Structure 1
Amino acid sequence: MTQKSDRKLKNVWESRLTGTRTSAFLTEILSNSGHFLILKSLSSLILVDWFKFITDPAIYVLIVGMLVQAWYLSKSNCNRFWGNLISVSIYTLIDVPIDGLDFFQDPSHGVFWLFSLMIAILQGLRFHWVRGIDYWLIPLESLVRALMVVAFYVVVGIKSQSLIFNPELIVRFSGTATHKFLTWSMVFIGLLLGLQSLQLAKQRKQLQATAQILGNMAEWGMGSHVVATALNNPEGLAFQKCDRTILFMDIRGFTAWCEKNSPETVAVVLNEYYRCIEPAAAQFQPLKITFTGDEIMAIYARPQQGIAAAKSMSKAALEMLELYGIGAGCGVHCGSVIEGLFGSEDVRTYSVIGDVVNTAKRLESATPGGLITISDAVYQAMSQHLTVEPCEPIVAKGKTAALIAWRLI
């Protein structure tokens, strides 16, 4: 699989596991950046009428600041500390020239800055500065959000009664039974919601880690083409007739060579062979690569990919196998096959079947080590781009007529 297709498949996985940028943007608004806007809007609506509310330019500045902050924080590589200060900074920079020094007399602005800084510090600790303390920071962050409701409750009380904000006012507020009930209720609700968020975050991480492992295993067993198809278009995995290019490569004299070497040596050499050949095959976007003993089968969408892969794989095999006095022959054929998931209810694998597969294998079997044999169908599809020499017609098992084949030069 090429880097381009690898990134594409990875993006598909990530969008399914963590959501798209749009979903991340909406989540950020609902779970973080939109909280102050909601509380500020509610407090303003309680204190003034609708007309004054919708004609106040400050609310639109706040909306713009919230949207910019949410857009930035929805990026995967954002800085959570500075990002959480975007909205309050935009609001302050635009509103101060309008309101002048009166801006700093409004207690809601002090609440805005105080809680923005608290959330920024907590998220900076959690995402950037100190790792592994989510057990403490997530509930604490939820508690801070709950206390923001209490803070705005105080702000509404101050403004509705035209009171002056001072420490004595806070003491009187905290001494009232109803205010105590509200404050402690929000503390416990914030902690409970924080513990729930922590549990959900832990489960999400476990599910994402499990899904990543299963995705890797599925790709190893099924191939990237099947995994991408399953994610994007599951119906595409049904049996279908399509044109495919089939490539087989097999080591010549491998059985005899194995008899002369220890099983440990054979395993090491075979694994080294796989590591050399797989990148050569993968760079031309195979739909699937299968290793069976010393045989390699690769499925491609077009003959051009199959031929390029055959050349690259043969070169890699020659450089690696000549050290052991052996070589690999390669055969390529193209045509209509039946493609889909084959197997039982419990075990299935993506593959292709048909005469094209059998013919490709016959071509490979008739090819000496270090050479590439292609079918006449492949030659006709790419005759202007290939340098070949004719082969003796290949008499293949199960074929009534000899196969017309060509040898790449």
Structure 2
Amino acid sequence: MQYFLVLSLLIKMMNQAMKNAKKRFRSENLWEIRLKGTRTSAFLTEILSNSGHFFILKSLSDLILAGWFKFITDPTEYLLIVAMCVQSWYLSNSKYHRFWGNLMFVGIYTVVDLPIDGLDFFQNPTHFVFWLFSLMIATLQGLRFHWAKGIDYWLIPLESLVRALMVVAFYVVIGIKSHYLIADTEFILSFVGSATHWFLTWSMVFIGLLLGLQSLQLVKQRKQLQETAQLLGNMAEWGMGSHVVETALNNPEGLAFQKCDRTIVFMDIRGFTSWCEKTSPETVATVLNEYYRCVEPAAAKFQPLKITFTGDEIMAIYATPRQGVAAAKSMSKAALEILELYGVGAGCGVHCGSVIEGLFGSEDVRTYTVIGDVVNTAKRLEGATPGGAITISDAVYQGMSQNLTVELCEPIVAKGKTAALIAWRLI
């Protein structure tokens, strides 16, 4: 009864962990998922590379010693599967501690099996080997991931060697229990005096070292690839925007030319050219960079599809007017805090409507952007806006009139437009 209660509790914990992981998966950045893998892939990797080793050797030794019937009817054998999954799921989170995580498998098994076997539990050499190698692997991984990260070159081959010797240890346990032997001096001398035992032991030592050196090489290569991919990903996001990068990874067809509704926000510093004439280039560069550094986060809070810097002009593309207007307010506030110190200000214009969106350019140079009359109109609205103010088009106003405090502007006669633009100024 105790076993089934513990098993039921562990299964519930696993189900809850799976649900939480799915929620986190949906909220994670797609680029990070592609680069580092999902929690599920980390779980499978943990089973194949670590926790599954203990499960296989412990189960095989029990099967050989007990026989098929006793093996499949022993409930503690099924507990091994649950304990392995719990440990693997815990260790699949890189934030958790590897030392304590590697003791969960053997710890859960001990807590449940100890009341069943009583004091005989400690006299079983299989349990001794199980605990010994669990502690050794836990210590090595604790050093590698937490306590002594600078000596990976030594710890990875050493860990592989320990795993290989674990096979020898279970082999010895099976020999002792199947022949009812006692692990005394006479047994040790007999074991080391056998040519087959020497061959098995040294074969496993060298195979373990070779596999460890191979693992070390793979770890180094993977780290280099991840660093390179992260750098390229950052450069892609800087140039194209996170929306384009995620679309390219998830749905490349989505980058083809398409007609869609977008909200365009333009912001430009008023009197920037004349101010530059009276200011040193070093000061201009410093102020402009500070301007970008403050305004970009303000725009990024509202999930832009892309932000573009051109001289003193900022263009941001949003999916909805609500995002665009909120971003314009935030951008204007951030710009005011920087620019008023130098006696200049930035005007902002917002317009929405149908645009053509996609990757524009040649075979060698391309960029994601939007084109159309909506873009031109947004630029004209921005050009007619004084520093520190925000002008929105009538299309934006009609879509959000219940949520805005505005005043009607004088009709704006814009270059290239046959009719004056109806516009509103945010108050």
Q: Against the structure 1 CA distance between its residues 40 and 9, is the aligned structure 2 distance closer, same or farther, given a 3 Å change threshold?
A: closer
- The CA deviation string for residues 65-97 of structure 1, in whole angstroms up to 9 with x for no partner, is 222211211122111111111111222222222
Secondary structure, in 3 states, of the residue corresponding to 2:302? coil
Tell me the equivalent position of 1:395: 413
| Aligned pair partner of 1:288 in 295, 306, 316 | 306
Write the distance in 1 (CA, Å) between the matches of 2:59 and 2:398.
72
Residue 179 (structure 2) pairs with residue 158 (structure 1): no
Tell me the equivalent position of 1:186: 204
Tell me the equivalent position of 2:320: 302
Correspondence 1:2-41 to 2 at 5 A: 11-41=29-59
Tell me the equivalent position of 1:210: 228
Q: How many Å apart are 1:10 and its aligned residue?
A: 5.5
Tell me the equivalent position of 1:357: 375
Residue 348 (structure 2) pairs with residue 330 (structure 1): yes
Write the distance in 1 (CA, Å) between the matches of 2:408 and 2:214.
72
Report if the CA contact (8 A) 1:374-1:406 is conserved: yes
Q: Against the structure 1 CA distance between its residues 153 and 201, is the aligned structure 2 distance closer, same or farther, given a 3 Å change threshold?
A: same
Secondary structure, in 3 states, of the residue corresponding to 1:269? helix
| Aligned pair partner of 2:87 in 62, 69, 88 | 69
Q: How many residues align?
A: 403
Q: TM-score, normalised by structure 1?
A: 0.94
Tell me the equivalent position of 1:50: 68
Write the distance in 2 (CA, Å) between the matches of 1:333 and 1:404.
11
- The CA deviation string for residues 94-152 of structure 1, in whole angstroms up to 9 with x for no partner, is 22221222222221111111111110111111111112111000000000000011111
- The CA deviation string for residues 229-276 of structure 1, in whole angstroms up to 9 with x for no partner, is 223222222221110000111111111111111111111111111122
Report if the CA contact (8 A) 2:31-2:245 is conserved: no
Identity in percent: 84
Write the distance in 1 (CA, Å) between the matches of 2:164 and 2:322.
62
Report if the CA contact (8 A) 1:9-1:224 is conserved: no
Q: Which amino acid aligns with 1:333?
A: H
Write the distance in 2 (CA, Å) between the matches of 1:190 and 1:60.
29
Q: Which amino acid aligns with 1:67?
A: C
Write the distance in 2 (CA, Å) between the matches of 1:57 and 1:389.
76
Q: Which amino acid aligns with 2:225?
A: L
Write the distance in 2 (CA, Å) between the matches of 1:26 and 1:376.
55
| Aligned pair partner of 1:173 in 191, 205, 217 | 191
Question: Structure 2 unaligned runs (5+)?
Answer: 1-24
Write the distance in 1 (CA, Å) between the matches of 2:411 and 2:30.
46
Write the distance in 1 (CA, Å) between the matches of 2:299 and 2:69.
68
Write the distance in 2 (CA, Å) between the matches of 1:9 and 1:355.
35
Q: Against the structure 1 CA distance between its residues 36 and 320, is the aligned structure 2 distance closer, same or farther, given a 3 Å change threshold?
A: closer
Q: How many Å apart are 1:29 and its aligned residue?
A: 1.2
Q: How many Å apart are 1:355 and its aligned residue?
A: 0.7
Q: How many Å apart are 1:63 and its aligned residue?
A: 2.1
Write the distance in 2 (CA, Å) between the matches of 1:389 and 1:313.
20
Tell me the equivalent position of 1:3: none
Q: Which amino acid aligns with 2:265?
A: L
Write the distance in 2 (CA, Å) between the matches of 1:175 and 1:347.
71
Secondary structure, in 3 states, of the residue corresponding to 1:399? coil
Structure 1: 4+ residue segments shifted above 3 A: 7-11
Tell me the equivalent position of 2:357: 339
Secondary structure, in 3 states, of the residue corresponding to 1:132? helix
Residue 272 (structure 2) pairs with residue 254 (structure 1): yes
- Please say which of residues 338-347 and 315-324 is displaced more in the overlay: 315-324
Write the distance in 2 (CA, Å) between the matches of 1:276 and 1:78.
35
Q: TM-score, normalised by structure 2?
A: 0.91
Give the RMSD, CA atoms, in angstroms: 1.6
Q: How many Å apart are 1:8 and its aligned residue?
A: 7.4
Write the distance in 2 (CA, Å) between the matches of 1:356 and 1:142.
62
Secondary structure, in 3 states, of the residue corresponding to 1:341? strand
Write the distance in 2 (CA, Å) between the matches of 1:53 and 1:9.
43
Q: Against the structure 1 CA distance between its residues 346 and 170, is the aligned structure 2 distance closer, same or farther, given a 3 Å change threshold?
A: farther
Q: How many Å apart are 1:387 and its aligned residue?
A: 2.1
- Please say which of residues 233-242 and 256-265 is displaced more in the overlay: 233-242
- Please say which of residues 233-242 and 9-18 is displaced more in the overlay: 9-18
Q: Which amino acid aligns with 2:419?
A: A
- Please say which of residues 22-31 and 63-72 is displaced more in the overlay: 63-72
Higher relative contact order (CA 8 A, sep 6+): 1
Tell me the equivalent position of 1:138: 156
Q: Which amino acid aligns with 1:142?
A: S
